């Protein structure tokens, strides 16, 4: 079986192991994903998978200010111990995630957080687009689900492509960090602020009169 880039990427995302290790595991497993995961676990390389269930209660709240103070991000990222929270690697990771959020403007951390009404609205839009384009009914569902996957990759932080490395998603970056430091890490929450965002372009009545 051909070991594709997609297979390697999927295995990296699920285990946090390196590219070469993932490729070797898939070759040993003849392309079988579960067998490849077992191979990595036996070798002690599937570190992210083993640590994902541990509770992360320490960590950092950090900020990133961009564009001359016109955009800012606050992010909370948790790890298991204060020792790790104080390391340069962890602090750099947190700063990089905040910078990514400023640049990529995610709306959610993961797809499970998206309200069902938002998903229904997106699916309805994509279905209407496919129907109006004259697509056969039998392929419309596949088209809709394909566009939903793209939607997830645009609005969910963990599924976005990392702005500093287009070969990585944020989930892959997170798993690699877990593997490196040996503790579970979770991106708990974030807030992104854009100067003037949400304000009306028209002056309010209380401020509309000129000074004489």
| Residue 72 belongs to some domain of the structure | yes
Q: How confident is the model over 76-126, as pLDDT tens digits?
A: 999 988 899 999 999 999 999 999 999 999 999 999 999 999 999 999 999
Same-domain pairing of 28 and 80: no
Same-domain pairing of 44 and 69: no
Same-domain pairing of 14 and 93: no
Mean pLDDT over residues 168-172, rounded?
93
Q: Where are the beta strands (DSSP E) in the chain?
A: 58-66, 71-79, 186-194
Same-domain pairing of 30 and 107: no
Mean pLDDT over residues 145-163, rounded?
96
What pLDDT was estimated at residue 197? Answer: 78
Same-domain pairing of 65 and 166: yes
| Residue 137 belongs to some domain of the structure | no
**Cα angle value 194/124/153 (rounded, 5°):** 45
Domains of the chain: total: 2
Measured CA distances, 166 to 57, 98, 160, 179 (Å):
30, 17, 10, 20
For all residues of the chain together, what is the average pLDDT? 85
pTM of the predicted model as reported, rounded to 2 decimal places: 0.68
């Amino acid at each position: 079986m051909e070991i594709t880039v997609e297979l390697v990427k999927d295995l990296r995302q699920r285990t946090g192991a390196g590219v070469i290790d993932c490729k070797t595991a898939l070759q040993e497993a003849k392309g079988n994903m579960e067998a490849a995961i077992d191979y990595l676990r036996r070798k002690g390389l599937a570190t992210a998978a083993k640590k994902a269930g541990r509770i992360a209660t320490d960590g950092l709240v950090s900020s990133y200010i961009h564009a001359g103070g016109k955009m800012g991000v606050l992010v909370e990222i948790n790890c298991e111990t204060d020792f790790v929270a104080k390391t340069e690697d962890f602090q750099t990771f947190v700063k990089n995630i905040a910078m990514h959020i400023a640049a990529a403007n995610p709306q959610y951390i993961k797809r499970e957080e998206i309200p069902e009404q938002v998903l229904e609205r997106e699916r309805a839009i994509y279905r209407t687009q496919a129907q109006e384009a004259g697509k056969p009914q039998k392929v419309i569902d596949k088209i809709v689900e394909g566009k939903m996957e793209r939607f997830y990759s645009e609005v969910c932080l963990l599924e976005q492509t990392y702005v500093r490395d287009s070969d990585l998603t944020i989930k892959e970056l997170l798993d690699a960090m877990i593997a490196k430091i040996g503790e579970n890490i979770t991106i708990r929450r974030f807030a992104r602020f854009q100067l003037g965002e949400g304000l009306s372009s028209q002056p309010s009545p209380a401020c509309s009169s000129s000074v004489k």
